Amino acid sequence: ADAWSVDNPNAQPDHKAFPELGFAEPEKKERFPLAVSLMGKFQSYFKDREAPMLIGESKPAAPGQPPAPAKDSGNRAGVIEHSSQEARLVVLGSSNFLADMVLSISSQVSDTHLANIQLVTNLVDWGVQDVGLLSIRAKEQYARTLKKLESGERFGWELGNFAFVILAVLLIGLFTLGRRGRARPILNLDAKQSEERSA
């Protein structure tokens, strides 16, 4: 409900002129459909019209000459008048959200670019009617970065890790020394018999 459209296609924010958002914020805001998905039976554009002509193969142009336009092959294409009852159609307003530049820039700021990729994979699964994949796909299949710690917090965690290791080594050493102190030597049979005779 807080969206707006602009006529200027420049997506570069200007934080000097608009320090809060980087863009001029208009007074009128409203919802805009960014994508539409439809499911059902679709009628062909050529249902009651003549089928289009098939394009023939274009001949390779001579060196230095512009390519010759492809001519009609003289054959007309077959027309499918309507789709099946459960045909699916998705129309996206733009594909720029999947451009390499957009993904690389957004990946430096946050993990929101992963949602764009997730949207496309979900649309593919929905389009091929493989809805079961939507429920079994791992929700967190991407690595999530840890929260950045302040210098004091980082020092506390490092100190705690070192203290835990030192304490663990000391406890293991004390436990080993205690077991050695309670251990009795194992005598072989000849030594045991000689002790009994001497007694």
Tens place of pLDDT per residue across the chain (199 aa)? 888 888 877 777 788 888 887 888 888 899 988 889 888 888 888 888 887 777 666 566 667 666 665 565 566 777 888 888 888 888 988 888 788 877 777 777 667 667 788 888 888 888 887 766 666 665 555 556 667 778 788 888 899 999 999 999 999 999 988 887 787 776 666 655 665 665 5
Distance CA 17, CA 27 (A): 17
Burial of residue 96 (CB within 10 Å: 0-12, 13-18, 19+) is exposed
**Residue 72: per-residue pLDDT:** 58
**Tokens, residue 195:** 């002790």
Instruction: Give the pLDDT confidence score for residue 143 in this predicted structure.
Output: 58
Prediction pTM value: 0.43
Q: What is the pLDDT of residue 144?
A: 61
What DSSP string describes 85-127?
A: TTEEEEEES-SGGGSHHHHHHHHHH-STHHHHHHHHHHHHHHH
* Beta-carbon contacts of residue 122 (< 8 Å; ≥ 6 apart): 134
